[in-house]
Structure 1
């Protein structure tokens, strides 16, 4: 089921980005041109969005889609993905624990669909901890 949920998550993100690319006649990721062509906070087609740092939080019908982007690669943490599940009316009924979600995402790493992305600090400054995120490496899996 996590594969279906992740497919919905990725599909929404790419559809949202396509809306912005179409509206602003750009073929690169909206994170890279959000400052110059449109406000970092706004709405399009019923989707409220907020671009921040290297990512975006989008909300539609109460469902929260938060992610980070590097060039054209989707990155997310277990917490961000869990928030999507928690706010989705269908998926929240599954009552998945964070540990279960983490285990299922790990299985997708073993399949070669996701990879670990480790973040140790920003601009050379250590946080004193390590953040483990996921990066989508095989998007064709979700099509």
Structure 2
């Protein structure tokens, strides 16, 4: 079921981005041009959005989608996915624990569909550790 949830998550994000690209006639990721061409806080087709740093929080029909963009890849934390599940009328009934979600995401890492997102340096300090962030490396797996 986590694969279905991630499929819905990624499909929604890419559809939202397509709306912005179409409206502003740009063929690049909206995070790249949000400062220049439109307000970082707004709405489009009943979708409220807020661009922040390298990411975006999007809300539609009470469902919250938060994510970050690295070049053109979707990155997210376990909290981002948990927030989607918590606010989605169908998914919240599943009562998934954080441990279960983490385990299922780890299975997708083992399949090569996701990867850990590691931070080598933050503000000049070497970390070389994982902050439970995930990077979608096989988006086509979800968008079949």
Shared fold by TM > 0.5? yes
Contact 2:117 2:130 in 1 (8 A): no
The alignment partner of 1:42 has SS state of strand
Q: Name the Cα RMSD after superposition.
A: 1.5
Q: Does 1:101 align with 2:101?
A: yes
TM-score (norm. length: structure 2): 0.94
Contact 1:120 1:131 in 2 (8 A): no
Contact 1:120 1:130 in 2 (8 A): no
Structure 2 gap segments, 5+ residues each: none
Moved over 6 A (4+): none
Contact 2:47 2:58 in 1 (8 A): yes
Contact 2:115 2:136 in 1 (8 A): yes
1:48-87, Cα deviation, whole Å (9 max, x unpaired)? 0000001000000000000000110000000111000000
Q: Count the aligned residue pairs.
A: 142
TM-score (norm. length: structure 1): 0.94
1:121 to partner: Cα distance: 5.2
Within 5 Å, which residues of 2 pair with 1:26-65? 26-65=26-65
Structure 1 gap segments, 5+ residues each: none
Contact 1:116 1:133 in 2 (8 A): yes
In structure 2, the CA distance between the partners of 1:97 and 1:32, relative to structure 1 (3 Å rule), is: same
**How many Å separate the matches in 1 of 2:6 and 2:25?**
28
The alignment partner of 2:99 has SS state of helix
Within 5 Å, which residues of 2 pair with 1:1-143? 1-119=1-119, 122-125=122-125, 131-143=131-143
**How many Å separate the matches in 2 of 1:50 and 1:68?**
12
